[in-house]
Amino acid sequence: MAESEAEVPKAKPRPIVRLGIFLISHSCLFSVICCTAGVLTLLLLPVLAKNTYISENALMPGSANPMFSSQEVSEANRLVKSLTSLDSKPVGSGIESQRLIAEYMSDLGAEISYHKFYPRSNQFHPLHFFSYPDSGSTRENVSCISHGLNTVGIIRAPRGDGKEAIVLVTPYNSLKVGPGEALSLGIAYSVFSLLTQVTWLAKDIIWLVADSRYGEYAAVNAWLRDYHMPVFSGLSALKAEICPVSNVHNELKENSVTERKINDGFRRAGTMATALVIKVTDGSEHFEDSLSIYAEASNGQMPNLDLINIVNYLAVHRQGLRVKVEKMRSLINCKWLKILGEILQSLGHVAKSLNPQWKFGIPAKDYVEGAATLASSLYYQALGVPTGPHGAFRDYEIDAITMEISSRVALNNKARKNDFLLRGGRLIEGVIRTVNNLLEKFHQSFFLYLLTSPSKFVSVGVYMIAFALLVASLPVVAASLYADAHKVDPSFGIDKSTPQASATDELSITPRSCKWLNAAKKVFLVHLWGAVVSFLPYFICQIPSCTPTTSFVVWVLLSSFSLPILSLILGSSFSYGRPSQPQKRDWTLLKSVTISAAFIGLCLMSVINFATAEIGALLMVPMCLMAQPLKLDIRSRKLRKFLRVACNLALGFLGFPPAGFFVLKGAFEGFGGITVGDFWSWLESIWSWSSATYLYIAGWFERTRS
């Protein structure tokens, strides 16, 4: 939009065109104002945050009295006790504990099935950008020796038609069941047992006991993949060929006499409306029992805000739990943030004294907390790595969160423990009952938002303003540079018509308005180089037996070699021995093209992953605007120019280390075999990083050239 405005300098002077011309002629001032406004708006976001509200009327949270009673608590205690007693026994408890849980489930009359999965190593493949998350599943390399075993129990809803389901997930390590994990299993079991008796259930309930031996995420992801992609006989035969089916099922069946309903096949229960991941930690809290909500899925996706609202509402107003979301601890004690908060507070007071209707001031403490939460929200979204097993659900368009309930003291006291179980169970029952009311799926509330506290959020319409202000200067500056290059041009054209200049100047052959093609070629080359550099890790991964350090060195070497090779292939030379006038014009065009490329990239990124784009814009925009060729500046020795050079170098230095850091991290994660969790998120995050990286490179290159 801004670009189209800015690019119309020569047409008839309509008001909008005149505005465009005005903006272009004052592009320097405009860009400075825009950038500052963008940063200021970003800092103001905690003030602009709105209170959350439950948008979907059908949900009606907390309208019914909880049915969860002490009877269910005793059930939970029973399971916890038998689990802990099992844990004290020697080896082989992996299958034992699974069987125990399955037994308990079948006693409740639920359908039970085991799901065997093989943990797969996350492989980065450059060509998978173009395919959908599921399509890469056919040619995985599975290691047959190790496998995990999920236990799945399904309650069929008395009022449902088996087309919709709600999922409860309790990740636990089957080799060593910790006290927290046992408690989370206990809570889930008690809720499950309650739900077998209720009459109001309209959606089936799936309880997934995820085997987190190979990571919580991997287990949930494997189950989801098999749930959504039915394996037909031909394929399963293929799989059997790869890995000889161990007789786990038979083993389990033989051993347990009581099991009546264990199915060999994979059980399904229709589309999932919601998934809740339940975890329990104990003893870490100082004040009261609290509930932490983790919501960030892969690549900065968030579940629908209504889900968080329900959980928050029920936890705070019904169960009296303290709800927390992730914060950046380091920011809370930050001095300048406190000062800023106080300034804003006093500003709010002034505004309130002027007009009592204006209520935008918030207390300084709230501001600092909000800013810290916002920062962590931005950080986790930008990183693109899910913060828990709920991330796997978002890839299948299922809203999911992780609820981590933690108690104030260690749960040794029995009465205390019962109370804790009661509150946790009631909370989960309430959430399930609310979601049970849902028609179809969550759609009413926001998907794109940032949290500043559990009950406050910044919606997409607000935070986009900050980004738009930050980025708006790019097209204007690009247009003004482009216009500048053409203003220089007529004099050049006159030169050309004189016989001496028109001799064999290669450039004069290209027509006037297509001069930018040359610059575009250069920018394209640099971006191509960036792409090659970011794809290289994949090929380096293939080299067997490589320590992270050596592969990193190989990577750096290869990437630095690839630029001259590319330039050789595409036949563009970088050293033009030209007089300064055309060089300057060339350079202006080059900068203009670079800035437009950066603009397009940032806008794309903001659609894909806002947080990455915002952080990228904060780094890139000043860099793009300040960039100047070093040589020209050094030649003219003035203080002002010198300052500019210093500024540029500092910005370049600032801009480069993050890229290096990110890339280094990416490299180590890739090579060291430490799986980030989600293949897709990893890929996407690498993608986002690399896009930022090669834009950096473009900026970097542009400055250092000539």
Partner 1 sequence: MEPKEQSKEKKEKLWFWNWVIASVIFRLVLIYFPKNLNLASRPEVSTPLTSLRRLAEGYWLKQLSMSPYAGSMYHGSPLLLSLLGPLTVKRIEGQPDHLLCSLVFVIADIVNAMLIRATGQNLQMEYTRSLKLLDHVKLSEKPGKIIPSGDIAALVYLWNPFTIVACVGLSTSPIENLAIILSLYGACKRQAPLAAFGWVIATHLSLYPAILIIPMILLLGYGTDTPPRKLFLQRRNVEVGDNPPNDRCCEREEVVHRSEVPHVFSWRPVIHFFCWTSLWSVYVLVLCGISVKQYGGLWELFKRTYGFMLTVQDLSPNIGVLWYFFAEVFDFFRNFFLIVFHGNILFMMLPLAIRLKHRPCFLAFVYIAISSMLKSYPSVGDSALYLGLLGLFVNELADMQFSFFLFCGYVGVSLLSPVMHNLWIWRGTGNANFYFATAMAYACLQIILVVESVSAMLNHDRKLRKPLTELQDGKN
**Interface residue list for partner 1 (CB under 8 A):** 3-4, 7, 10, 125, 127-128, 130-133, 135, 301, 397, 447-448, 482, 509, 511-514, 516, 520, 592-593, 596, 600, 603-604, 607-608
Residue among 482 and 696 whose Cβ is closer to partner 1? 482
Residue among 604 and 650 whose Cβ is closer to partner 1? 604
* Min CB(443)–partner 1 separation in Å: 9
* Min CB(702)–partner 1 separation in Å: 17
Residue among 415 and 514 whose Cβ is closer to partner 1? 514
* Min CB(187)–partner 1 separation in Å: 30
If one counts every other C-beta atom within 10 angstroms of the C-beta of residue 364, the result is 19
Residue among 133 and 180 whose Cβ is closer to partner 1? 133
Residue among 126 and 178 whose Cβ is closer to partner 1? 126
Asked if 148 and 211 touch (Cβ cutoff 8 Å), the reply is yes
d(CA 331, CA 369): 8
Residue-by-residue DSSP string for 540-566:
HHHSSS--HHHHHHHHHHHHHHHHHHH
Residue in the block written with tokens 């605007």 = 625
Residue among 330 and 513 whose Cβ is closer to partner 1? 513
Residue among 447 and 668 whose Cβ is closer to partner 1? 447
Please name the helix (run of DSSP H) or strand (run of DSSP E) that holds residue 51, with its range, or none.
strand 50-51
Report which of 598, 635, 634, 632 is spatially closest to residue 618, judged by C-alpha positions. 598
* Min CB(700)–partner 1 separation in Å: 22
Residue among 180 and 537 whose Cβ is closer to partner 1? 537
The torsion angles phi and psi of 98, rounded to 5 degrees, stand at -60, -40
Report which of 72, 70, 73, 152 is spatially closest to residue 110, judged by C-alpha positions. 152
Asked if 618 and 470 touch (Cβ cutoff 8 Å), the reply is yes
d(CA 394, CA 157): 24
Cβ-count burial of 244 within 10 angstroms (0-12 exposed, 13-18 middle, 19+ buried)? exposed
The identity of residue 329, as a single letter, is: R
Residue among 452 and 606 whose Cβ is closer to partner 1? 606
* Min CB(4)–partner 1 separation in Å: 7
Report which of 596, 640, 648, 578 is spatially closest to residue 481, judged by C-alpha positions. 596
Residue among 379 and 447 whose Cβ is closer to partner 1? 447
Two structure tokens written together for 676: 């980030």
Contacts 24+ apart (CB under 8 A), 314-320: 314/61, 314/62, 314/427, 314/430, 314/431, 314/434, 315/291, 315/427, 316/454, 316/455, 317/62, 318/62, 318/66, 318/426, 318/427, 318/430, 319/423, 319/426, 319/427, 319/430, 320/288, 320/289, 320/423
The strand pairing partners of 148, in sequence order, are: 117
Residue among 511 and 579 whose Cβ is closer to partner 1? 511
* Min CB(475)–partner 1 separation in Å: 9
* Min CB(482)–partner 1 separation in Å: 6
* Min CB(481)–partner 1 separation in Å: 11
Rg (CA), the chain: 30
The CB-side HSE value for 192 (13 A sphere, CA atoms) comes to 35
d(CA 487, CA 367): 49
Q: What is the 3-state secondary structure (H, E, C) of 101-115?
A: HHHHHHHCCCEEEEE
Asked if 182 and 84 touch (Cβ cutoff 8 Å), the reply is yes
Report which of 100, 107, 283, 77 is spatially closest to residue 186, judged by C-alpha positions. 77
Check residue 499 and give left, alpha or beta (phi > 0: left; psi -120 to 50: alpha).
Answer: alpha
* Min CB(607)–partner 1 separation in Å: 6
* Min CB(493)–partner 1 separation in Å: 11
d(CA 287, CA 278): 21
* Min CB(515)–partner 1 separation in Å: 9
* Min CB(654)–partner 1 separation in Å: 27
d(CA 302, CA 142): 30
Residue among 3 and 633 whose Cβ is closer to partner 1? 3
Asked if 676 and 299 touch (Cβ cutoff 8 Å), the reply is no
d(CA 411, CA 291): 16
Two structure tokens written together for 521: 């070629």
* Min CB(600)–partner 1 separation in Å: 5
Tell me 316's DSSP state: I
* Min CB(640)–partner 1 separation in Å: 30
Residue among 101 and 525 whose Cβ is closer to partner 1? 525
Asked if 278 and 170 touch (Cβ cutoff 8 Å), the reply is yes
Residue among 10 and 329 whose Cβ is closer to partner 1? 10
Residue among 446 and 529 whose Cβ is closer to partner 1? 446
* Min CB(127)–partner 1 separation in Å: 4
Residue among 113 and 592 whose Cβ is closer to partner 1? 592
* Min CB(321)–partner 1 separation in Å: 29
Query: Which residues lie closer than 8 Å to 446 by C-beta, 6 or more apart?
Result: 304, 305, 457, 459, 460
Residue among 298 and 453 whose Cβ is closer to partner 1? 298
d(CA 137, CA 440): 28
Asked if 350 and 265 touch (Cβ cutoff 8 Å), the reply is no
d(CA 624, CA 591): 8
* Min CB(480)–partner 1 separation in Å: 13
